[in-house]
A and B are shown apart, each in its own frame.
Chain A
Amino acid sequence: DAGVIQSPRHEVTEMGQEVTLRCKPISGHNSLFWYRQTMMRGLELLIYFNNNVPIDDSGMPEDRFSAKMPNASFSTLKIQPSEPRDSAVYFCASSLPGTGDRELFFGEGSRLTVL
């Protein structure tokens, strides 16, 4: 299995530009999570989906952030307009349905720099 695939791996953009991050979860996994990691705040959950449906987006920082999962094999996280404080590594993770032993499989991350 190829694992969770994220693109782009690195993105450098200017303030005000739109940024779209993409994720392909592991086949058969029905839960998908978007996390953001910074030195100051650590790993923060932004939003997660079960069976393509957004369940909890309380971690999305503000209206500039949006996420979609049009089908079981693809999700996007969009930032519009981007700001320098959005600079971080964005991880996508997927998992099988489960309870006590839910293991998240992380992609390699998308490192975003907003100038």
Chain B
Amino acid sequence: QKEVEQNSGPLSVPEGAIASLNCTYSDRGSQSFFWYRQYSGKSPELIMFIYSNGDKEDGRFTAQLNKASQYVSLLIRDSQPSDSATYLCAVLDNAGNMLTFGGGTRLMVKP
């Protein structure tokens, strides 16, 4: 059973702070990793993906990948109340077909 684990939260941060969201995965052969955001009552939407070790930045978002530790994280700089949502980590299997999601971390950004 391929697993993707996230702390369910809620993670509460003040407005303007850095939010750090973490994810671990069990399939060492996984190659691609995704972060989705899901607002309450809405469908998930892609924030960014990463497949190389290290950091990848996109605006206020930075994804970090460490394949040796089977760990991927998402940093949100200058957090805004509009960032309050559930963040889902997803891992693509070796064949590039199936995306397995973690349970999600609920983020609350307080003004």
Contact = CB atoms under 8 A, between A and B. Distances in A.
B32 A43 contact: no
A102 interface: yes
Interface string A85-115: 0000001000000111111101111000000
A48 B98 CA distance: 8
A55 interface: yes
A66 interface: no
Most chain A CB within 10 A, of B49, B96, B97, B104, is at B97
A45 B98 contact: yes
Contacts of A20: none
A18 interface: no
Interface stretch (B11-19, B37-45, B57-65): B37-45
A30 to B, nearest CB: 12
B88 interface: yes
Contact of B49 (A55, A91, A103): A103
Interface string A39-63: 0001111001010000110000000
B67 to A, nearest CB: 13
B44 A100 contact: no
Interface residues of B, number: 21
Contacts of B104: 42-43
A59 B27 CA distance: 17
Nearest to A56: B98
B73 to A, nearest CB: 19
A55 B97 contact: yes
Contacts of A35: 101
A48 B43 contact: no
Closest 4 pairs between A and B when the two form their complex, measured CB to CB: A99-B96, A106-B43, A42-B103, A43-B101
Interface of A: 31, 33, 35, 42-45, 48, 50, 55-56, 91, 98-104, 106-109
7 contacts: A33-B99, A35-B101, A42-B101, A44-B101, A45-B98, A99-B96, A103-B46
